[in-house]
Structure 1
Amino acid sequence: MGLEGIKLIACDLDGTLLHPGEREPRPEAFELINELHRRGIVFMPASGRQYASLRYLFAPVADELAYVCENGALVMSEGRAVVKRSMERSLAMDIANAVVAYPHADVTLSCEGHLYTISGNDAFIDHLRYEVHCDVTVVDRPEDIDEDVIKIAFQTPETEQPAALEYFARRFSDRVDVMTSGTEWTDFIGFDSGKGSALADYGRALGISPNEMMAFGDNENDRDMLNVVGHPYLMESCNPSMRGVNDRVRYVRTVEEELRRLLAE
């Protein structure tokens, strides 16, 4: 097949483009993205991360990309929001305060322009600012935020994530999607606000059909994205719960290896 007929390639980051222990894409990834751009194919990082963090991560090619941010609650292209879905405010406050009260969990509230967190854990704030490269604003309580909240997330130790996920899913899964995003992060986003819905809406806006889309993923927050696109790929190292996500999925060892193969066909 090669890349004939493909107009957009969405790609998850942690566990997919970024291998365990990696904090930034390898130089080969930028070379491949440049070649895709030359052929008129949009490369689209699809991540739970903030827009500012994604632009930093892809700095050498940042202006060539469109971005699925905040696990699908925000899509940015050419510096503007093409898709944005906000949470109902009282629900956002309920979730955020529940996370604040939960032991060993650090909360973030994503808005279009800023990422907010609660004061008290300087190491976590420094991690967001200097390691993840987010635009961070620190507040004393969730109610101090006056922007629309589009996603809430929390980080907890890997060993405690399953219990935390179960607790918050039991409390809130009737009102929002509660999903893991890596081994330490858990996300809350509005129903129909995931990566798949974001891709479908972006495709409608640009006249790109699902069969003209390809996507790479590895975890539960990629499930709806892989179900939407016509050409889904899972990493061989994916979360076991994702295997057999649909009857179209193919398995690959690395994104770069597969893109290199497709570009050569």
Structure 2
Amino acid sequence: MVKLIVSDIDGTLLPYGQINLRSSLFQVIEQLRERGVIFCPASGRQYHSLRGLFAPVQDELAYLCENGAILYGAGREEDAPVLGKTSMPREASLALAEDILALPGCQLLVSGANVSYVCRCTSDYVSMLKDEKGNRVQILEHPRQIEEDILKVSAYCPAGTKEPAQVLGPQWGEALHMAAAGPDWLDFTLADKGTGLEQLCRALGVSPEETVAFGDNWNDAAMLHRAGRGYLMEQADPELGKQFSLRCGDVEERLRDFLAGGTL
């Protein structure tokens, strides 16, 4: 029996380059809720950003944010319960942040629980985070001004992630779990969507075998493996596709088929 459906956003529910979900998806989520099935966005995005993306149903969802580094239960933004949190070691995170700042053409993003911290950045980058991603953003002069726990450190790489990954990977790739999160983001965190899903299942009293997950990228792989059934999007990297037999072309259509009596 399916009790929890977890889905990546960018490249899965939301095609790259688009900023709004189809409004018809919210009806599907409501119908799932009526059947006792919890829907949970699972993303590298910030909690505030995800709530804005799912505005019509935002108080009804569980949220797996910052690639699993922080999880929220249903409720209003100001008092929704935190169901899990995985922080990074502060000094290593700050050293990584400095290395990203030194990369030509890349921008830094350091994630707290519900704030994106940036520094030495362009105004276009700040506008993208605020207006396109819907993030809460705080501009600092130096990463050491961050006072809260650091959950994730990211490099925004408009020219692609290959060369930045080659520079950052040898020192930080294994220690801080480097993962590509789309064509222009590299994320570093001690959590991943797989450990986030495990924490979420424990908090909600759901077995991993009662979950279905959808994703399209390498940072979704752990979540897809841990779910009872993990669907990889058809447009995913063929190398990643070798790990998964279940494929999906359109998540909303797959969920509508499930609501009509099909299986997941």
TM-score class, shorter: over 0.9
Matched ranges for 1:23-172 at <5 A: 23-78=19-74, 79-158=80-159, 160-172=160-172
Deviation sequence 1:63-91 (CA, Å, 0-9, x none): 11011100111111131211101111101
Identity %: 38
Structure 1 residue runs of 5 or longer lacking an equivalent are none
Question: Matched residue pairs, number?
Answer: 256
Query: Does 2:182 correspond to 1:177?
Result: no
Q: Once the 2 structures are TM-superposed, how far is the Cα of residue 173 of structure 1 from its aligned partner?
A: 2.0
Q: 231, 234, 237: which is aligned to 2:235?
A: 237
Matched position secondary structure for 2:168: helix
Cα distance change on mapping 1:98 and 1:28 into 2, 3 Å? same
Q: Once the 2 structures are TM-superposed, how far is the Cα of residue 109 of structure 1 from its aligned partner?
A: 0.5
Q: Distance in 1 between matches of 2:258 and 2:197?
A: 21
Matched position secondary structure for 2:254: helix
Deviation sequence 1:103-146 (CA, Å, 0-9, x none): 11101100113110004411101111111110100001111111
Q: Distance in 2 between matches of 1:239 and 1:71?
A: 19
Matched position secondary structure for 2:161: helix
Q: 180, 187, 210: which is aligned to 1:212?
A: 210
Deviation sequence 1:16-35 (CA, Å, 0-9, x none): 00123321110121111110
Q: 167, 179, 193: which is aligned to 1:195?
A: 193
Structure 2 residue runs of 5 or longer lacking an equivalent are 75-79
| Moved beyond 6 Å, runs of 4+ | none
Q: For residue 73 of structure 1, what is the amino acid of its counterpart?
A: A
Contact 2:108 2:121 in 1 (8 A): no
Q: Distance in 2 between matches of 1:125 and 1:182?
A: 19
Partner of 1:264: 260
| CA RMSD in angstroms, aligned pairs only | 1.1
Matched position secondary structure for 1:29: helix
TM-score by length of structure 1 reads: 0.94
TM-score by length of structure 2 reads: 0.94
Partner of 1:227: 225
Query: Does 2:12 correspond to 1:16?
Result: yes
Q: Distance in 2 between matches of 1:239 and 1:97?
A: 30
Partner of 1:186: 186
Q: Distance in 2 between matches of 1:86 and 1:187?
A: 14
Range 73-82 or range 219-228, more displaced: 73-82
Q: For residue 173 of structure 1, what is the amino acid of its counterpart?
A: G
Contact 2:107 2:121 in 1 (8 A): no
Matched position secondary structure for 1:177: coil
